[in-house]
Amino acid sequence: MSWFNEGPRPGKVLASAIGSTAAAVLVLAGTAAPDAHAASGTLGTAAAGSGRYFGTAVAAGKLGDSVYSTLLDREFNMITPENEMKWDTTEPSRGNFNFGPADRIVNHASAHGQRMRGHTLVWHSQLPGWVSSITDANTLRSVMDKHIITEMNHYKGKVYAWDVVNEAFADGGSGQHRSSVFQNVLGNGFIEEAFRTARAADPAAKLCYNDYNIENWSDAKTQGVYNMVRDFKARGVPVDCVGFQSHFGAGGPPVGFRTTLSNFASLGVDVQVTELDIAQASPTAYANTVKACMNVARCTGMTVWGIRDSDSWRTGENPLLFDAAGSKKPAYEAVLSALGGQTANGTTPQVRDSSGGAGQHWTLR
């Protein structure tokens, strides 16, 4: 598969301007819970203290793993299905819908008081061949709209927010949409069509645009998405939120991530960190990401893309908050602290970052 066309590619890290010694991080035990939100000992409850959520991607096939499900239900109050709501699973052939795998996750969430983020309705990847081979615009429009309506109807009242369109913008310097069957057959208007259809299908659901490598404000891709959202808001196209996937290299978020979140929020949309993972899971890099969200009032929640390192799509990079055995990693404590939570020993850890918080992020070729 071509990473360039298919999505984020881990491990292509921009050269860091920060020396490795300068980036050294110490997590020290502090003495007091500093604010009104500080009496919470899990990620979900700590995030809830400021009205936010803390979520994770979940694979239906792992729900029977008791270590996995115990962590899931203890720590997380929002769930994104990692693959189960994607088109290749939900409509593998035209008009034949399969919601079984995703239903297992939604039922789990209902039973444990977790909210759901639907991921994703329109995406060029994990798209069955019968869709990508359509060449007639009327047929594709009808197929796309029916897919959106049928999936949203099935989960009406059970999914808080949908990634209506995922990764529609191109990498590199164009700031334009990427090539896809939707773009190539329907033209630029396909995103608007998808959002309008989604609003009509479930007026109560939040409708999000979701993408990666849009965290750095000055990047052409970020600007392209920003201009689209600004245009949608100006013309009354229904968009409620923007998801920043945040698949970061070892340095974590770009320095201007908070600015990016804030600038999008100023357009009148909520923003969320939707697929967070960071190569090697530096506590500082995680804390910087969480702080960027915490400092923006309309940043309503964060989701990590998996629970244990062994659950991650980034095999070998150990990018998550729990190790393969299910034990908390140092990044866990840093995240809990940044959320305003309290650690297991009753203290709030302080993250000392001698790098000044400057981050590095990975990019594509």
Catalytic residue (choose from 75, 91, 167, 333) = 167
User: Per CB under 6 A, which of residues 144..163 are in contact with ligand G3I?
Assistant: none
- Contact pattern for ligand G3I over residues 5 through 24, marking x by CB under 6 A: --xx----------------
Q: Which of 75, 91, 215, 275 is catalytic?
A: 275
Nearer to ligand G3I, 291 or 314 (CB): 314
* Cα three-residue angle 219-220-226, rounded to 5 degrees: 95
Instruction: For residue 301, state whether it binds ligand G3I (rule: CB under 6 A).
Output: no
Give yes or no for residue 333 binding ligand G3I (CB under 6 A): no
Q: Binding to ligand G3I by residue 246, rule CB under 6 A?
A: no
318 in contact with ligand G3I (CB under 6 A) = no
Active site annotation includes 167: yes
Nearer to ligand G3I, 19 or 61 (CB): 61
Cα separation, 8 vs 174, whole angstroms: 17
Q: Is the peptide bond prior to 363 cis by the omega test (within 30 degrees of 0)?
A: no
Return the residue of 77, 114, 197, 245 that touches ligand G3I, per CB under 6 A: 245
Q: Which residue is nearest to ligand G3I (CB)?
A: 313
Q: Does 171 bind ligand G3I (CB under 6 A)?
A: no
Sign of CA dihedral 260, 262, 266, 269: positive
**How many residues make contact with ligand G3I (CB under 6 A)?**
10
Of 50 and 83, the one with the shorter C-beta distance to ligand G3I is 83
What distance in Å separates the CA atoms of residue 315 and residue 30, rounded to the nearest whole number?
Answer: 33
Q: Tell me: does residue 303 bind ligand G3I (CB under 6 A).
A: no
Q: Is 300 in the site for ligand G3I (CB under 6 A)?
A: no
Structure-block tokens of residue 51: 């009205």
The encoded tokens of residue 268 equal 């009148």
Looking at this protein, which amino acid is placed at residue 361? Answer: H
The answer to whether 58 and 350 have CB atoms below 8 angstroms apart is no
Q: Interface with ligand G3I includes 50 (CB under 6 A)?
A: no
Is residue 260 within 8 Å of residue 212, measured between CB atoms? no
**82 contacts ligand G3I (rule: CB under 6 A):** yes
Nearer to ligand G3I, 82 or 219 (CB): 82
In one-letter notation, the amino acid at residue 97 is F
In whole angstroms, give the CA distance from residue 240 to residue 31.
Answer: 40
Q: Which of 313, 328, 358, 364 binds ligand G3I (CB under 6 A)?
A: 313
CB of 323 to ligand G3I, least distance (A): 18
Assign 3-class secondary structure to 158-222: CCCEEEEEECCECCCCCCCECCCHHHHHHCCCHHHHHHHHHHHHCCCCEEEEEECCCCCCCCHHH
Nearest to 90 by CA among 155, 181, 134: 155
Site for ligand G3I in 90-129 (CB under 6 A): 125-126
- Identify the residue among 16, 83, 98, 176 touching ligand G3I (CB under 6 A): 83
For the bound state, the minimum distance from the C-beta of residue 35 to ligand G3I, rounded and expressed in Å, comes to 33
Q: How far is the CB of 201 from ligand G3I (least distance, A)?
A: 21
CB closer to ligand G3I, 209 vs 351: 209
Q: How far is CA 136 from CA 118, 144, 149, 185, in A?
A: 28, 12, 20, 7
Contact (CB, 8 A) for 191 and 228: yes
Angle at 275 between CA 218 and CA 263, to 5 degrees: 35
Query: Which residues lie near ligand G3I (CB under 6 A)?
Result: 7-8, 82-83, 125-126, 212, 245, 275, 313
Instruction: Please list the active-site residues.
Output: 167, 275
